[in-house]
Amino acid sequence: MAVLNLVQAINQAIDQKMEDDSRVVVFGEDSGYEGGVFRVTAGLQKKYGEDRVFDTPIAEAAITGSAIGMAVNGLVPVAEIQFDGFIFPGITEIITHMARYRNRSRGRYGLPIVVRFPVGGGIRALEHHSESLESLLGQIPGLKVVMPSTPYAAKGLLISAIEDPDPVIFMEPKRIYRSGKQEVPEEMYRIPLGKAKVVKEGSDVTVVAWGPFVREVEKAAELLKAQGENIDIELIDLRTINPIDEETIINSVKKTGRFVVVQEAVKTYGPGAELIALVNEKAFLHLEAQPTRVTGFDITVPLPRGEHFHFIQPERIAAEIKKVAKF
Amino acid sequence: MLFKDFDPLKGKRLEILDAEGNITNPKLEPKIDKETLLKMYKTMTLGRVADIRALQYQRQGRMLTYAPNMGQEAAQVGSMAALDKKDWLSPGFRDLNLMLYRGVPLKQIYLYWYGNEWGNHFEEDMRILPINIIIGSQVAHAAGLAYASKIQKKGEVALAVIGDGGTSHGEFYEGLNFAASYDAPLVVLIQNNQYAISTPRRKATKAETLAQKAVAFGAEGIQVDGNDVLAMYVAMQASAEHARSGKGVVLVEAVTYRMGPHTTSDDPSIYRTKEEEQEWAKKDPIARFKKYLMDKGYWSEEEEAALDEANNNFVKETFEWVEANGAATLEDVFKYTYAEMTPQLTEQYETHKKFLEESEGK
């Protein structure tokens, strides 16, 4: 089995879907000839030609807006936005039209579109290059929102996203684009959207994370172990921000009675708040401690000299887990 | 050739049928058969009656917000008549006649304005995107339709229709530039009806004409008398052919006038004069087309009277049908957010359904 990093796994997923389905087209700023600034689509234009893999003008609203027309007219667009913060000029088309088209037309036009882009911090970049947008995009009716945590998950989730009949926002954690490798099956496989994965079973505290923070929670668990703490963590990789896999989370909390959620996005009105509300609504009588969250702060993502204050370190996660476990 | 002869940078405007209904440019008079001409005329008159009636129904408290098209019938019908059935329409919200000509039943369009999304559920062969309220966005959607047509070699043209107000919007520029970059078969029709609600065209852009904006995209542009249905037909036919043959994008500016209010919530007397309205009333697109048809011997006052009565009866019956069938169901408002309801939506739907049933039982 090939050992791939996240970039290679995503590239393989797109490549195999393009091979499998001639309706799939890939486009974005520098996504064609160059293969994107992170080279996620490298080699695809050479293989599938300029009609199906192409560079666009620097016009995010044209990228997201034209994807709508392409999807109506028989294509399956996989559009790339170059960086998380660049989604904003294109978000108008996503929120005002793409997410609503099926409902607006009472089912006449469903839009099988994937909008994929790198998210989150960790590469010491300029402003607008380190944003976590799961809070913002997780609440839009009509969108599905996915963030993979590993190369294996990325391939299976992206294939499902491309095959999904509705628009899917596919957020790629750039800090782990190349930082970890994993065995990834060569054949096409699918990981269902809307299903979380229990990464590690445990009996003391349920910890929910997604994207790069699944690994950060594992690091936190190692830290706790090194400190001599004996806390049996049940770690859940949410995988899909919307729709939420309530069942997996609620079953876990009913077992552990304790709940911590980790999100890099700003604290207020984020998925962490939503998941805590969910736990309160559906597992209240099982709780043995107040459910809590470890989040980014309600600030603009700082430039590199200050970003370490904002981004969540394993130490913060470990401290929160300890607090909740010992309550 | 047409685009060269009517270069918008040289202040040219395509006109064939003048305000009095006389042919001023016989060389360009299109050869349209009688049946098609009458279909065009009948669509325009039905559109006019549907507008007038809708305003009345709204005043009676029976219709909700409505955006009338009065004055813009030629710009719309002339354009649609020149397109192929397989061509796409990406409309705005003031495009009743475009849809009627294509074959969308009036009851569906009324249903939309009555407040029900089923009004946007156009039959597949209509090839019409749902009504777009955010002005300008539809240009980007049409760019995608056109791109898909091009790479799949479908031979379809995508027509995006906006108003002069929409040309201030980002997606007007982004969409046109995007499609033009790939020579995708896109035609953008601007119905320059002089006002973006209350803001006159002159205040929205310093450009001398809207058609000349085509130059910036490396596209063809043409300004047309939008109240002249024959000129609109000729311009759109040339534009569609140009786009379809892979020569690139075309921008058509139809100079017209919104004879009614922006919507039923608007009071044009605040921002325009009676004199101005009367001047434009003399250029009514339907009156001059009627004269043209009568001069050709295709139409008579007797037929006109019968048509007017039939239109009024039809519109009345249609609206009564909509009033009787326009209600939405709880299932309707939940069911179409995704292809399949998510577990969250299912739970919300079931809970609310139960709540409603129990409330009704009390």
- Give me the residue spans of the domains in chain A: 2-184, 197-325
Question: Which of B 313-352 lie inside 8 A of A, CB atoms?
Answer: 332, 335-339, 342-344
Please report the pLDDT score of residue B360 as a whole number.
86
Q: Is A251 on the interface with B (CB under 8 A)?
A: no
Query: Taking CB atoms and an 8 Å limit, are B144 and A52 in contact across chains?
Result: no
Please report the pLDDT score of residue A120 as a whole number.
94
Task: Name the nearest CA neighbour of B331 among A147, A68, A235, A107.
Answer: A107
Please report the pLDDT score of residue A217 as a whole number.
98
Which ranges of chain A have pLDDT less than 70? none
What tokens does B298 get? Answer: 């295709």
Q: What is the per-residue pLDDT across B31-55, written as a single tens digit (0 to 9) for each?
A: 999 999 999 999 999 999 999 999 9
Q: Give which of B151, B340, B348 to mutate to test A binding, by max A Cβ within 10 Å.
A: B151
Chain B positions touching A21 (Cβ under 8 A) are none
Please report the pLDDT score of residue B286 as a whole number.
98
Domain A197-325 carries which CATH code?
Answer: 3.40.50.920
Residue A9 neighbours by CB under 8 Å, 6+ apart: A151, A152, A154, A155, A182, A184
Question: Which of A 161-190 lie inside 8 A of B, CB atoms?
Answer: 165-166
Of 3.60.20.10, 1.10.8.50, 3.40.50.970, 3.40.50.720, which CATH number belongs to A2-184?
Answer: 3.40.50.970
| Residue burial A154-176, b: 16+ Cβ < 10 Å; e: rest | bbbbbbbbbbbebbbbbbbbbbb
Q: Is the pLDDT of residue B117 over 80?
A: yes
Please report the pLDDT score of residue B1 as a whole number.
83
Per the annotation, the verdict on A310 as an active-site residue is: no
Q: How confident is the model at residue B241 (pLDDT cuts 50, 70, 90)?
A: very high
Q: Report the C-alpha gap between B71 and B281 in whole angstroms.
A: 8
| A197-325 has the same fold as A2-184 | yes
Q: What is the per-residue pLDDT across A46-91, written as a single tens digit (0 to 9) for each?
A: 999 999 999 999 999 999 999 999 999 999 999 999 999 999 999 9
Please report the pLDDT score of residue A122 as a whole number.
85
Query: Taking CB atoms and an 8 Å limit, are A69 and B118 in contact across chains?
Result: no
Query: Taking CB atoms and an 8 Å limit, are B145 and A52 in contact across chains?
Result: no
Q: What is the per-residue pLDDT across B303-317, written as a single tens digit (0 to 9) for each?
A: 999 999 999 999 999
CB-nearest to A165 from B88, B137, B339 is B339
Burial class (CB in 10 A: 0-12, 13-18, 19+), B42: middle
Chain B positions touching A74 (Cβ under 8 A) are 148, 152, 154
Q: How confident is the model at residue B152 (pLDDT cuts 50, 70, 90)?
A: very high
Is there a contact between B286 and B48 (Cβ–Cβ < 8 Å)? yes
Average pLDDT across chain B, whole number: 97
Q: Is the pLDDT of residue B361 over 80?
A: no
CB atoms within 10 A of CB B315: 22
Residue A110 neighbours by CB under 8 Å, 6+ apart: A101, A102, A165, A166, B339
Is there a contact between A90 and A133 (Cβ–Cβ < 8 Å)? no
Q: Is the pLDDT of residue B362 over 80?
A: no
Q: Is the pLDDT of residue B60 over 90?
A: yes
pTM exceeds 0.80: yes
